[in-house]
Amino acid sequence: MSDNNSYPVRADIAQQAWADETTYREMYQQSVVNPEGFWREHGQRVDWIKPFTRVKDVSFDYHRVEISWFKDGTLNVAANCLDRHLDTRGDQTAIIWEGDDPADDKQVSYRELHEQVCRFANALKSQGIRKGDVVTIYMPMVVEAAVAMLACARIGAIHSVVFGGFSPDAIAGRIIDCNSKLVITADEGVRGGRRVALKKNVDEALTNPAVKTVEKVIVFQRTGGDVEWHSHRDVWWHELTQLASPHCPAEEMNAEDPLFILYTSGSTGTPKGVVHTSGGYLVYASMTHQYVFDYKDGDVYWCTADVGWITGHTYLIYGPLANGGTTLMCEGLPNWPDSSRMSQIVDKHQVNILYTAPTAIRALMAEGNAPIAGTNRSSLKLLGSVGEPINPEAWEWYYKTIGDERCPIVDTWWQTETGGIMITPLPGATALKPGSATRPFFGVLPALVDNMGNIIEGATEGNLVILDSWPGQSRTVYGDHERFVQTYFTTFKGMYTTGDGARRDEDGYYWITGRVDDVLNVSGHRMGTAEIESAMVAHEHVAEAAVVGYPHDIKGQGIYVYVTLNAGIDDSEELKKELRQWVRREIGPIATPDIIQWAPGLPKTRSGKIMRRILRKIAADECENLGDTSTLADPSVVDNLIADRANRR
């Protein structure tokens, strides 16, 4: 095996895993040679009300992009996650909840979760919600967030979860885009010992005059903190569910009925409402969860992602619950009250599988090994990573220190749009190379293309595309199919464009090199440079702004903003502070700029396009090697920026 060091599959793991190397090769082969047959068989892993006869109806031709799976079958996703387990595992723990305060935890069995979901589903109906309505969920990491999602699925309402760290403006934008009729929130969230004013943010979002569709707000009482009450609109979760019946039939849904909308950033415009449907999504979520994490009955599985992200949808809720698993949900931060917290939780709940992000791993690594010395983590058997490329140093530390050189690491590459994991090792099948997401999952056909869209073979580097559909793929952008087509199917004709670059080595392993477009990845969170720029220029003193990413030790990428002020406005440290606060308020804390540099002028082409390539180089401290600058309208602008760079912080 070439390319850095590699870790062979341990024989004892291969022996008992769902897939060893031979099984992987056979199944993968079958899945790409005969996808219809493969998915006809594996489509049976979920319970259908009316079985499907059609498997795959797909066109990646940009004239008529259509993606359907199992399209004449019907099912209910919530019934698959709950009802079908009641006979065999009703008393098994479905969700272990760990509070922000380490003294707070609870376990919810499948039977209890089923009852809570049925009650809340009836509560939603009592507020006028019907099949096809959109419900916005803005919740902290409490069991009720899962209950809310599953209750929507039960009655056929489409949920749109908005991350609890987003601002009132961001909530409003998402509500307006999908015309949601109802918002579910909590009085306050709790994270790292601090309270987060969720209800207040919703109140503020709803004052936006363009929000016209929201009729009701259901408020879960998490802290009992003071909230403003609008009695024509606001209703308490506990009052509604007390009155509600614990019996609620699951709505029969078509495989292609939408299950949820999730907003994600792209290189241009406002965030897109990525739509996932019911049948294919669930088949893919459950199958990847089983094989990638080698999930076995009785395993305790912990995914640290927030429900506000796709990872929280697929691998905190839908995948594990569809498989009858025990999933741990943590309200707090992985490093609070101190950096041993994550390992403390592993020991306390005897976690077997831990799925987290490189940024969390790097933050722990920066603390050294001392804080985790008192924990033993002996329950762990598998580690996972997601959200951004994991650098080999962080990989090795995760492997050696957290996993005691005992646990394989699955570095899983995928996206909001892909619904589930696409490129990943399987623990019983794949020799690991630190930093490589390795090989495709069943049914996934990755390829590399040059900038002209020609497929390039062998060991090489290029744009990562996917050549054919898989059941978990997003079907459209909510309300704007044309944008879906434009974004994913026109850059390279007949293929799904991922927006990522990748290298493939001699062993056929993929190494994701990061985004090739103007999307930032800050602590594993996707952010469009255009969104941050438009927030910036909304400030009265800002004439123009350009945002780029730069290498950051912990976050992977940091946010670097070049700001041109309006004539007559003096720059100052206070103004920098104010602009940082401004972006936090406009978008949310995750979009806070790390570095602001005053830019009396921005490097532009003669046609007025900002040359981000140059700005990225300056931000990364690579000023010696700026590349071709011949198209610059005014080269002195660049010299000035480089000279000023010393004062950037």
The piece of 220-228, 232-240, 372-380, 382-390 that touches ligand 6R9 (CB under 6 A) is 382-390
Q: Does 515 bind ligand 6R9 (CB under 6 A)?
A: yes
User: Closest approach of Cβ 315 to ligand 6R9, in Å?
Assistant: 9
Residue 542 annotated as binding?
yes
End-to-end CA distance of the chain: 44
Between 527 and 610, CB nearer to ligand 6R9: 527
User: Closest approach of Cβ 380 to ligand 6R9, in Å?
Assistant: 19
DSSP string, 531-585: HHHHHHHTSTTEEEEEEEEEEETTTEEEEEEEEEEPTTPPP-HHHHHHHHHHHHH
Q: Does 150 bind ligand 6R9 (CB under 6 A)?
A: no
Among 121, 186, 219, 386, which residue sits at the site for ligand 6R9 (rule: CB under 6 A)? 386
Rounded Cα distance between 355 and 302, Å, is 6
User: Closest approach of Cβ 292 to ligand 6R9, in Å?
Assistant: 11
Among residues 175, 369, 157, the alpha carbon closest in space to that of 263 is found at: 175
* Tokens describing residue 604: 């532009």
Among 414, 492, 496, 582, which residue sits at the site for ligand 6R9 (rule: CB under 6 A)? 414
Rounded Cα distance between 324 and 318, Å, is 10
Rounded Cα distance between 624 and 636, Å, is 15
Among 109, 416, 473, 497, which residue sits at the site for ligand 6R9 (rule: CB under 6 A)? 416
Rounded Cα distance between 460 and 123, Å, is 55
Among residues 317, 249, 327, the alpha carbon closest in space to that of 81 is found at: 317
The piece of 149-157, 280-288, 511-519, 536-544 that touches ligand 6R9 (CB under 6 A) is 511-519
Among residues 585, 598, 458, the alpha carbon closest in space to that of 201 is found at: 585
Q: How far is CA 479 from the centre of its chain?
A: 21
Among residues 99, 103, 52, 104, the alpha carbon closest in space to that of 75 is found at: 52
User: Closest approach of Cβ 320 to ligand 6R9, in Å?
Assistant: 16
CB count within 10 Å of CB 324 equals 18
Token pair 């744009």 is at which residue?
463
Among 152, 285, 394, 512, which residue sits at the site for ligand 6R9 (rule: CB under 6 A)? 512
User: Closest approach of Cβ 8 to ligand 6R9, in Å?
Assistant: 21
The piece of 48-56, 385-393, 395-403, 552-560 that touches ligand 6R9 (CB under 6 A) is 385-393
Let me know how long the chain is. Answer: 649
Our CA angle for 520, 499, 27, nearest 5°, is: 125
Between 70 and 509, CB nearer to ligand 6R9: 509
Q: Does 440 bind ligand 6R9 (CB under 6 A)?
A: no
Which residues, other chains included, contact 234 with Cβ-Cβ below 8 Å and sequence gap of 6+?
Answer: 216, 217, 219
- Per-residue mark of binding to ligand 6R9, 249-278 (x: CB under 6 A): ---------------x--------------
User: Closest approach of Cβ 411 to ligand 6R9, in Å?
Assistant: 5
- Per-residue mark of binding to ligand 6R9, 295-314 (x: CB under 6 A): --------------xxx---
Our CA angle for 461, 465, 466, nearest 5°, is: 135
Q: Does 499 bind ligand 6R9 (CB under 6 A)?
A: yes
The residues pairing with 63 across neighbouring beta strands, listed in sequence order, are none
Contact 509, 429 (CB under 8 A): no
Among 119, 381, 526, 604, which residue sits at the site for ligand 6R9 (rule: CB under 6 A)? 526
User: Closest approach of Cβ 528 to ligand 6R9, in Å?
Assistant: 12
The piece of 8-16, 97-105, 133-141, 496-504 that touches ligand 6R9 (CB under 6 A) is 496-504
User: Closest approach of Cβ 514 to ligand 6R9, in Å?
Assistant: 6
The residues pairing with 464 across neighbouring beta strands, listed in sequence order, are 448
Q: Does 179 bind ligand 6R9 (CB under 6 A)?
A: no
Q: Does 415 bind ligand 6R9 (CB under 6 A)?
A: yes
Buried (b) or exposed (e) across 161-178, using 16+ Cβ within 10 A? bbbbbbbbbbbbbbbbbb
Q: Does 165 bind ligand 6R9 (CB under 6 A)?
A: no
Rounded Cα distance between 533 and 562, Å, is 9
The piece of 34-42, 153-161, 497-505, 539-547 that touches ligand 6R9 (CB under 6 A) is 497-505
- Annotation: binding site for ATP: 387-389, 411-416, 500, 515, 526
- Residues at the site binding ligand 6R9, with contacts judged by CB under 6 A: 264, 309-311, 385-389, 411-416, 437, 498-500, 512, 514-515, 521, 526
